[in-house]
Amino acid sequence: MSPYLFAFLDEHKITSIFNPLSTPAKTEINMGMLELAITAAIFLVVAGLLAYTMIRFRRRRDDDGHQEPPQVYGSNQIEAAWTVVPILIVFVIAGVSARSVWGVEDASPPKNALHINVIGHQFWWEVHYPGYNIVTANEIHLPISHNRDRATYLEYTSSDVIHSLWIPELGGKTDLIPNRVNHTWTDPQQAGIFWGSCSEFCGVQHANMLIQFVVQEPSDFDNWLAAQQQPQPTPTEISAGQKRFQAAGCWACHAVKGTHFNGKLGPDLTHLASRLNIGSGVLANTPENLQAWVVDPQHAKPGCLMPKSNLTGVNLTDLVGYLETLK
Amino acid sequence: MTIARDWQLPDRGNVGILMLILTEAVLFAMFVVAYIVYLGQSTAGPYPKDILNIPILSTICLLTSSLTIVLAEDALKHGNLGNFRLWWLATIALGAEFITATFAEWRHLIVDEHLTITTNLFGTTYYSLVGLHATHVIVGLIFLMLVMIATLLHFDIEKQARRIKLLSWYWHFVDAVWVVVFTVVYIIGR
Amino acid sequence: MATVNYPLESAGLRNSEHSVLNILYRWIATTDHKKLGLMYIICMLLFFVISGLMAVAIRIQLAVPNNHFVSPETFNQLFTMHGTTMVFLVGMPMVAGLGNYLAPLMIGARDMALPRLNAFGFWAFLFGGILLYSSYFVGAVPDVGWFGYAPLTTTRFSPGASTDFWVLGVLVAGFGTISSAINIVATTVSMRCPGMTLRRMPMFVWVMLVDALLILVIFPPLAACQIMLMLDRLIGANFFNPTVGGNVLLWQHIFWIFGHPEVYVLIFPIFAIMSEVVPVFSRKPIFGKPAMVGAIVVIFFIGVGVWAHHMFTVGLSALSNTFFATATMLVGIPTGIKIFNWAATMYGGKIRFATPMLFACGFLFQFLVAGLTGIMLATAPFDWQLHHTYFVVGHFHFTLIGGLVFGLFAGIYYWFPKATGKMCSETLGRLHFWIFLIGFNITFIPMHFAGFLGMPRRVYTYLPGHGLETWNLISSWGVAVQIVGILLFVVNIIWGLWKGEKAGDDPWDAWTLEWATTSPPPEYNFEKIPVVRSGRPLWDLKHPDDPDWRFE
């Protein structure tokens, strides 16, 4: 499947949290808007009072400095007043916040929810669809939920350090922690390609550990699932590129279903050519970029864990040609 | 002026030692919390109930040393240097017994039971907590011995009664911590 | 205890020894709280400049997307060292420096309770700082962030010595901090001059007392998790080893039990400065002193119970998240009360906008903003969006620069005449204030918007076309303006030392005891130990017809 089959989708490059497109995101932003309104009001009142005080009670030029103003030590009533009012405000915010927390966190998955497991790595995302026997990386497809009827339920963990997955328009972030499974959910209400990023410092290429959520109409999503479930067909004759994949040692880290390549240290490449980006978002998935990446991934992502291949000439073009067939 | 003459504030040494004890208590609390959090969490043995023996004798010795140090201070207050030296030496001896017994227990655990700080979560939390306490006992013993040497060299030890009192507070603290560690490690945790 | 009156006839100070060696010895071997206080402040300012230069490098790198000003490794080292330096080598010596210099003077004592411990504390701090920076000489600069989350900091993911330098440098400096804290408590409890009951103790000293107690309670958790990490790294312990069942969240819990109250440790001395500066320049006593002290104590207690608001995204239960969110919001109340009380102190007064007061006013507006963005972050659901983004970076720089640094400048300009006997230039001070104010806001307001648009923290670059270019560029340009402000400060200090007007004992017409002695104070502080009858002893002396003790 070519990436261009869903490239028609709106790509949300500007990912503002004020464009919530799922139920959890909307809950969070409603909370946020209430916050902003209350804090803005508090700011106007208090800053206004401060400014007024500073202007009204400044020492005038003609003041000779000998007459001190009345020495007021305090007032219990005033102290009480400006203690009680903030307590009431906190009471309101805390109550709304608690309701939002429970609404988002304690929601249990509906029966027809799609389950996805994500495992964080330095510096890429391993993605499993356990119900469909699909393994992929760095790009998560999920169905649109027009009437909030098809949620996606995600489980997160990590194989090394702590990461965090965040797609601003689809919900808040949740951490991927080793030896721990975290849950979150989303129900995207608009189709599109949504950018997200790792949001917990995880090492030298934390900045380039990006991810995309591709939200599709149900039929398109089903087609994608079906295509991803297929292993690569066994060819009548092993291509030069596939032999180069073996000779260059790529199989030590990468897997291609349908072949005997079963490396688990790096992203699964079975349907590499169907993805929008490579290197977890660092380069668009074009043949030129793929070639540059294979030669020297350290150029685009210095410090990532994929070594240079030192391939040149026909060996290189054969290999890249093979990778391009992994649709 | 009457204000100046009647002005009495707490002794700064007392405050200093109390603050030191406060901060050390919080430090121990953190390691106790880690111990409790990791109770039962080791994925592989050895496990506490299999290999931990309750250190009754050394506990009695350490707690008795709190008594002997009080007796030493009392003797000093009454000017009885002979008894002071006796009880002070007893305190050191009892503390030394505690340390010796602790290290003997560790030797047994490492050599015979193959439990080191790297073995599992139990090993990590056990050695760090008991070790932290033992370190504080050793520091206390060093100061106790300095006082012993001072009095044997006929320094004017009575003039140092205030500092000796502060040292004894530290020593009582170390003993109190042992009560907590003992309870958590050998009673609750087994 | 007999009090000694100075100067003693018999003890003549031999002024003949002015050789360099002798001067050096007097400073290195000193236990005098004033010298040590100044040494803390000078070292703090040096580390501030070094760390500030790191921030400049960070902002140059982030000015445009895909920049190559520094490598990813260097960038990660920069933000790690910047944060670590600012918290431990600028913030903490500020606490110690201000507390050690001013507390004995304000309570009418000759020195701190434990002078030799004081000296030990300073040298431990300095040694810790040097140890941390010596990592540059062996090419093992820490790069794990100032809060070093496990398991990134374990040997498996941070091989080499860089994390060891980070842990040990901070640990050693921490011993110095704990020493200072013990000393401050002992001093405020045991060394007050006759008549100075706790009620009559100046606000500054009250706040430093609570601050010291807070340090004593929260630095052990820091030491504990660092010792645990060192045991893991050096001898293979398993505190943070998930492969044998270890819980990496243990680090986060223990670290934030330290880390959150630490921000109160840092800001309390600034509250203390505010409670001295605002009254003097408004010509009124602090409004509601009991409430102000009460607020500090309440912040102490609530502040140690809110740590997990740094962990809203780790998957704690809904109950935990709600508890910590609520507690965090509650801590905003006593802080708000303090702002209201300062405002009420100014209300009805005759405000003189000398340089210290300008910075105090800047503090009030900016700390208000910081507190309000803090309330936004306290609500867990909103925090799930904002956590680990540039919104948080904006928030804490508003508290730390807009609050702490502005308040610190207020304090420096206020007590500079006392410590040196000279006055700074009001013109330069005013320029410093306005330029730094503008530069600061230009840099840090846009960060909130970058956070709204999805920019995470600790990233050495960002993609073009995601709406982040404008805000980052504006932020970076603000740095240039801030640099001008800081340079003006440096020039002003040098000018003050060199050509400043003589200050005299009491240039600001203030009311606490440090203004009752010469500027700078003699080594013995006061000729006669004062006897006080109120919280503003100099007000009583200057206004015998209307003394404070009639109203307290």
What is the per-residue pLDDT for A149? Answer: 76
Give the best residue of C178, C190, C200, C235 to mutate against chain B (max B CB count within 10 A): C190
Nearest to A199 among C346, C381, C388 (CB): C388
- Would you call C138 helix, strand, or coil by DSSP? helix
Cβ separation of A15 and C454 shorter than 8 Å?
A: yes
Element (H, E) at A120: strand A114-121
Burial A239-271 (b: 16+ CB within 10 A, else e): ebbbebbeebebbebbbbbebebebeebbbbbb
Q: Which residues of B touch C156 (CB under 8 A)?
A: none
Q: Which residues of C touch A166 (CB under 8 A)?
A: 454, 456
**Nearest residue in chain C measured CA to CA from A53:** C347
Closest approach of C59 to chain A, Cα-based (Å): 15
Residues 6 or more apart whose Cβ sits within 8 Å of residue C131? C165, C168, C169, C172
Give chains near C: 3+ CB pairs under 8 A. A, B
Q: Which residues of C touch A197 (CB under 8 A)?
A: 454, 456, 459
Cβ separation of A172 and C381 shorter than 8 Å?
A: yes
Cβ separation of C368 and A177 shorter than 8 Å?
A: no
Q: Which residues of B touch C221 (CB under 8 A)?
A: 26, 30
Cβ separation of C337 and A162 shorter than 8 Å?
A: no
Class of A240-324 per CATH?
Answer: mainly beta
> Which residues of chain C fall below pLDDT 50?
1-2, 10-12
Nearest to C244 among B4, B26, B120 (CB): B120
Q: Which residues of C touch B162 (CB under 8 A)?
A: none
Nearest to C238 among B3, B16, B121 (CB): B121
Q: Which residues of B touch C530 (CB under 8 A)?
A: none
- Would you call A163 helix, strand, or coil by DSSP? strand
Closest approach of B136 to chain C, Cα-based (Å): 15
What six digits make up the tokens of C298?
């309440």
Is the CB of B56 inside 8 Å of chain C's CB atoms?
no
The CA-to-CA distance between both ends of chain B, in Å, stands at 64
Closest approach of C535 to chain A, Cα-based (Å): 11
Cβ separation of C368 and A82 shorter than 8 Å?
A: no
List, as ranges, residues 118-157 from A with C-beta within 8 Å of C: 122
Which residues make up the CATH 2.60.40.420 domain(s) of chain A?
8-52+76-229, 240-324
List, as ranges, residues 244-283 from A with C-beta within 8 Å of C: 281
Q: Which residues of C touch B9 (CB under 8 A)?
A: 189-192
**Nearest residue in chain C measured CA to CA from A87:** C333
Cβ separation of B121 and C246 shorter than 8 Å?
A: yes
Give the best residue of A79, A121, A185 to mutate against chain C (max C CB count within 10 A): A79
Residue appearing with tokens 């309670």: C217
What is the per-residue pLDDT for C10? Answer: 47
State the pLDDT confidence band at B82, using cuts at 50, 70 and 90.
very high
Cβ separation of C220 and B15 shorter than 8 Å?
A: no
What six digits make up the tokens of B134?
């033992």
Nearest to B124 among C217, C224, C238 (CB): C238
DSSP 8-state symbol, A59:
P
> Which residues of chain A fall below pLDDT 70?
1-7, 148
Nearest to C290 by CA among C203, C208, C349, C210: C203
List, as ranges, residues 501-530 from C with C-beta within 8 Å of B: 529
Burial C103-112 (b: 16+ CB within 10 A, else e): bbbbbbbbbb
A109 vs A128: CA distance, rounded Å = 17
Q: What is the pLDDT of residues A17-34, one digit of tens each?
A: 999 999 999 999 999 999
C552 vs C200: CA distance, rounded Å = 9
DSSP 8-state symbol, C154:
S
Closest approach of B187 to chain C, Cα-based (Å): 22
**Interior CA angle at A239 toward A237 and A244, to 5°?**
140
- Would you call A121 helix, strand, or coil by DSSP? strand
What six digits make up the tokens of B135?
């370190």
Nearest to C355 by CA among C436, C272, C284, C286: C436
Nearest to A46 among C245, C368, C382 (CB): C368
Q: Which residues of C touch B12 (CB under 8 A)?
A: 113-114, 186-187, 189-191
What six digits make up the tokens of A117?
């497991």
Nearest to C497 by CA among C46, C42, C106, C43: C42
CATH fold of A8-52+76-229, please? Immunoglobulin-like (2.60.40)
Q: Which residues of B touch C192 (CB under 8 A)?
A: 9
- Backbone region of residue A203 per phi and psi (left: phi > 0; alpha: psi in -120 to 50; beta: other values): left
CB pairs under 8 A between B and C: 115
Nearest to C344 by CA among C274, C295, C287: C287
Cβ separation of A59 and C375 shorter than 8 Å?
A: no
What is the per-residue pLDDT for A106? Answer: 81
Burial of C234 (C-beta count, 10 Å sphere; 0-12/13-18/19+)? exposed
Nearest to C350 among A59, A122, A162 (CB): A59
Is the CB of B79 inside 8 Å of chain C's CB atoms?
no
**Nearest residue in chain C measured CA to CA from A106:** C318
Residues 6 or more apart whose Cβ sits within 8 Å of residue C338? C271, C274, C292, C295, C296
Q: Which residues of B touch C181 (CB under 8 A)?
A: 19, 23
Is the CB of C238 inside 8 Å of chain B's CB atoms?
yes
Nearest to B12 among C190, C217, C254 (CB): C190
Domain segments of chain B as ranges? 32-41+51-188
Alpha helix locations (H) across chain B? 2-5, 12-37, 48-51, 56-77, 81-107, 121-152, 161-182
The CA-to-CA distance between both ends of chain C, in Å, stands at 28
CATH fold of B32-41+51-188, please? Four Helix Bundle (Hemerythrin (Met), subunit A) (1.20.120)
Element (H, E) at A141: strand A139-143
What is the per-residue pLDDT for B2? Answer: 57
Is the CB of A207 inside 8 Å of chain C's CB atoms?
yes
Nearest to C104 by CA among C176, C175, C205, C4: C205
Contact C343, C376 (CB under 8 A): no
Contact C187, B16 (CB under 8 A): no
Closest approach of A323 to chain C, Cα-based (Å): 26
Cβ separation of A68 and C350 shorter than 8 Å?
A: yes
C252 vs B85: CA distance, rounded Å = 49
Residue B80 pLDDT greater than 70, yes or no: yes
Q: How many CB atoms sit inside 10 A of residue C415's CB?
A: 24
Distance of CA A72 to the CA centre of its chain: 55
Give the best residue of B11, B27, B39, B133 to mutate against chain C (max C CB count within 10 A): B27
Contact C212, C261 (CB under 8 A): no
DSSP 8-state symbol, A296:
-
Residue appearing with tokens 């090394």: A160
**Interior CA angle at B53 toward B52 and B58, to 5°?**
125
List, as ranges, residues 164-193 from C with C-beta within 8 Å of B: 178, 181-183, 185-187, 189-192
3-state secondary structure string across C313-382: CCCCCHHHHHHHHHHHHHHHHHHHHHHHHHHHHHCCCCECCCHHHHHHHHHHHHHHHHHHHHHHHHCHHH
Burial of C526 (C-beta count, 10 Å sphere; 0-12/13-18/19+)? buried
Give chains near A: 3+ CB pairs under 8 A. C
Contact A35, A93 (CB under 8 A): yes
State the pLDDT confidence band at B159, using cuts at 50, 70 and 90.
confident
